[in-house]
Amino acid sequence: MKKTLAVVGGAALLAGCAAPLPDLPRKAPPAPPSFTAAPAAAQPTAQPTAQPTSQSAGEPVAEFWRGFGDADLDALVSEAIAANPDLKIAAASLAAARALARAADALDAPRLDLAAGATRGRALADGVARTGNFFSAGVQAAWEPDLFGREDAERAAAAADVQFAQARQRAAQVSVAAEVARAYFELRALQELLRVAEASLETQRAALKLVQARLDVGRGTALDSERAIALVRTTEASLPALRGELQRAGFRLAVLTGQAPGAFGARLAAAKPLPSLAPTALERIGTPASMLRRRPDVAAAEAQLQAAAARLGVARAQLFPSVRLAGALGLNGVRTGDLGSSNSFFWNLGASLVYNLLDGGALRARVAAAEAGGDVAVAQYEKAVLAALEDAEDSLAAYTATQQQVQSLFDAARAAERAAELARARFAAGASDFLAVLDAEREQLAARERLVRAQAGAASALVGVYRALAGGWGEG
């Protein structure tokens, strides 16, 4: 009994000798002091050089879509956050990771089981083989002290998995909000394109009537009439395609908000202009380092790095012996009635030490695999940082380019509109033929379409900036 207690006490003392967790280096290059593609007004005044660290797990995703000041967009994103299937998957994955973390937290707790059993068998007793029954009832306790840090490493790995799931959930929120915003801008742009095409069609039909009237009185030509008819029919042919695109944009928004494709019906049927873009939209975007701290994909890669380090610690700890303390207290007998007698009482307490002497190299192979997994996690972290920097620069460059494009196309559309007005006036006065009107009408419609699509592209590009900078900004 004294020897048993000595083993128990020695194992308990060794439980505090856990090895520290391995540390995997972060090999990503330092973040640059500023964004190359950002406008001068958006450049930071400070230039921190700290390496990126993960965003706080409880920090909410910035509601960047509210900056567009569109109530319909706000409602759609709120519905998507509540019902989008991808976000439900992310939430369920986070719940599963948290449950596994709770299970890992319980690894160092003693185990207590209530056991009852009944057996029948043949055994040798007092030199005589006997067949009979055996009944037992009692409690069994066991505890395995964490001598070399295996359980601590498993808990650390589970905690890192929770951080990874949280980062993935934030990434899904930003992505879904950006997808909803883009689909909404596409829908509003298509409504505007349809309006422009229908307005142009009305103008072209009026011109056709004028050509035919001139033909009827002998002042026009059949060539002008056929050209006018061709222009009207071409514009009419573009309308079904635009209506089809508009319907598909509505389907996309419905699915993003967790509804069947046709659920919206007439909800967004009333045309509205695209939300205006604030000229100061890119002010105070901060630095690349602050962006990396916000990026959920970088946080996810960092969590994977921590999990890989912890699992390497688990693999290394399995190379060392394990000690198990166990005991039982209960009643037994050959009949159920014997369980109530004082002689049926039993107890035991013991300790066991297990050390693997020969396993064909399996444990060391697991350590090698965990080390390789750590190398993978380091490379993935480096890739995530570089991809985030590239994504931010690309989005800033795209937004700047689309803004310049919109301004040029706006001027072009104004000029095309004035040219069409002049061509129609000259034709009505007999100063030119209908070919000039035809060319001017075509260019006016094309210029309007290019402008609307560019405006939608600029709005989507700004959404891309918000998404790349992780949902919003404000710090330097």
Give the chain's mean pLDDT. 82
The better pLDDT of the pair 338, 138 is held by: 138
Distances (CA, A) of 251 to 255, 267, 268, 417, 457: 6, 12, 11, 34, 20
- What per-residue confidence (pLDDT) applies to 57? 35
Question: Which residues lie across from 124 on neighbouring strands?
Answer: 129
Give the H or E element holding residue 352.
Answer: strand 345-354
Specify the pLDDT at position 35: 86
- The band of 2, judged by pLDDT with boundaries at 50, 70 and 90, is very low
Percent of the chain with pLDDT over 70: 85
pLDDT at residue number 472: 57
Higher pLDDT, 101 or 3: 101
pLDDT value at 47 more than 80: no
Closest-CA residue to 226 (of 212, 206, 210) = 212
Parallel, antiparallel, or unpaired for β 322-333 and 111-125?
Answer: unpaired
DSSP helix/strand/coil, 99: helix
- Indicate the burial class of 233 (C-beta count within 10 angstroms; 0-12, 13-18, 19 or more): exposed
Closest CA to 305 of 100, 101, 25: 25
Question: Taking residues 183-198, what's their average pLDDT?
Answer: 91
pLDDT band, very low/low/confident/very high, at 11 (cuts 50, 70, 90): very low
DSSP result, 111-139? EEEEEEEEEEEEEEETTEEEEEEEEEEEE
Give residue-wise pLDDT tens across range 439-470.
888 888 889 889 988 988 888 888 888 888 87
Domains detected in the chain: 24-108+147-320+365-468 (1.20.1600.10)
Q: 258, 280, 323: which is closest to 108 by C-alpha?
A: 323
**Residue 91, pLDDT score:** 93
Of 280, 316, 296, nearest to 94 (Cα)?
296
Q: Are 7 and 352 in contact (CB under 8 A)?
A: no
Mean pLDDT over 210-224 rounds to: 78
- Other C-beta atoms closer than 10 Å to the C-beta of 260 total 9
Across the beta sheet with 322-333, the strand order is 111-125, 128-143, 322-333, 345-354
Identify the top-confidence range among 137-151, 241-255, 266-280: 241-255
Query: Which residues does residue 134 pair with via DSSP β-bridges, in sequence order?
Result: 119
Task: Give the C-alpha separation, 217 to 297, whole Å.
Answer: 72
Higher model confidence: residue 300 or residue 285?
A: 300
Nearest to 114 by CA among 143, 137, 144: 137
Q: Which of 24-33, 68-77, 105-114, 166-175 has the lowest mean pLDDT?
A: 24-33
Cα torsion angle, 52, 54, 59, 62, sign? positive
pLDDT at position 12, please?
Answer: 45
CB 9 within 8 A of CB 145: no
CB-based burial of residue 217 (10 Å sphere; 0-12 exposed, 13-18 middle, 19+ buried)? exposed
Of the ranges 39-53, 103-117, 179-193, 341-355, the best mean pLDDT one: 179-193
Q: What is the CA radius of gyration of the chain?
A: 37
Average pLDDT over residues 274-301: 79
DSSP β-bridge partners for residue 140: 113, 328
Rounded average pLDDT over 326-334 = 80
Confidence band for 62, pLDDT divided at 50, 70 and 90:
low
Taking a C-beta distance cutoff of 8 angstroms, is the pair 103, 296 a contact? no
Q: Which pLDDT tens digit goes with each residue over 402-439?
A: 888 988 999 999 999 999 889 888 877 877 777 788 88
Residue 48 predicted with pLDDT over 60: no
- What is the predicted pLDDT for the residue at 39? 67
> Which residues 6+ apart lie within 8 Å of 144 measured at CB?
322, 323, 324, 325
For position 438, what pLDDT does the model report? 80
